[in-house]
Structure 1
Amino acid sequence: MRNRDWTTQLADTIKAATERPFSWGAFDCCLFAADCAVAVCGTDPAEQYRGRYTTETGAKRLLKKLHGSLDAAWDYHFARVAPAFIQRGDVAMYEGPNGRGVAVFWAGEFWSVTEDGVGRIACDPVVVWRVE
């Protein structure tokens, strides 16, 4: 169930992250999307991951150990919906230049972590999760 003031909380979460630089295990696309999920519904899909890796290899190793894959980790917490039915606050997985990543859908655009902080990205969702 979504928080009563989820739209304000999500907007504040995105705004606060716009100048935060990328850092594996401290601020990467999955942790940002998880922060947004907390703002929307109070569920933290990254609770088991926070502070437990510092590199891409470490993230992949932990992901494989705990859930098997990136999509399985998100499946554990949220239901999938067809990409055509994405709504504000939902999380999308996409194929990016560096592999799979996740983004949050807000204000008609996808937001994810870039090298310089959170920003709008081009995204063709492979999988979408309804965050509620």
Structure 2
Amino acid sequence: MYRKPDWEAALAAYLEPLRLVPFAWGTHDCCTFAGGAVLAMTGVDPMAEFRGRYSTELGAKRALRRIGRGTLVATLDAKFEAVAASLAQRGDVVMIDGLLAICWGAFAIAVGREDDREGLIRIDRHQWHDARAWRVAYGA
């Protein structure tokens, strides 16, 4: 799975309609959001096996045990090359305090809530605590 030449435009086009879509387990949560972003950039959905398989937090945990590698971190480690969060580049998958997001340079984009607005939120790099990252590879 490699980024397409037009990955930046494809990622921006993926993000735009999601700006105000609220969080929903199994359809618009951190796992499906990050998987959709990777799909937009590469044409491959790394989370396809999880789609439609859960609708609650408990269901998501069960799906990770049943379909994945037991945890979200272990599942991502099996799908991507892990890199230090400080080395995350635009388009890479990052996990911040257990929440999956997409690196956008000086910040990450994730599904969440800011004040009374739900949808995509920005998390500045200086707020990345307990962060991990995985590289979405460029073409060989």
Using structure 1 for the length normalisation, give the TM-score.
0.90
Cα deviation per residue 1:32-90 (whole Å; 9 max; x = unaligned)? 01111111222212100001100000000111122211011111211011122110000
* Matches of 1:12 and 1:33, distance apart in 2: 14
Correspondence 1:1-132 to 2 at 5 A: 1-66=2-67, 67-95=69-97, 100-115=98-113, 116-121=118-123, 122-124=127-129, 126-132=131-137
Contact 1:83 1:125 in 2 (8 A): no
Moved over 6 A (4+): none
* Matches of 1:2 and 1:53, distance apart in 2: 28
Cα deviation per residue 1:76-130 (whole Å; 9 max; x = unaligned)? 21101112211000011121xxxx1111011421110014111212433521000
* Matches of 1:123 and 1:34, distance apart in 2: 20
Unaligned runs of 5+ in 1: none
* Matches of 2:84 and 2:94, distance apart in 1: 10
CA RMSD of aligned residues (A): 1.3
* Matches of 1:104 and 1:90, distance apart in 2: 6
Secondary structure at the aligned position of 2:48 is classed as coil
The number of aligned residues is 128
Q: Percent identity?
A: 40
- The amino acid of 1:87's aligned partner reads Q
Using structure 2 for the length normalisation, give the TM-score.
0.85
Distance 1:71 1:61, change over 3 A: same
Distance 1:125 1:17, change over 3 A: farther
Structure with bigger gyration radius: 2
- The amino acid of 1:120's aligned partner reads R
Unaligned runs of 5+ in 2: none
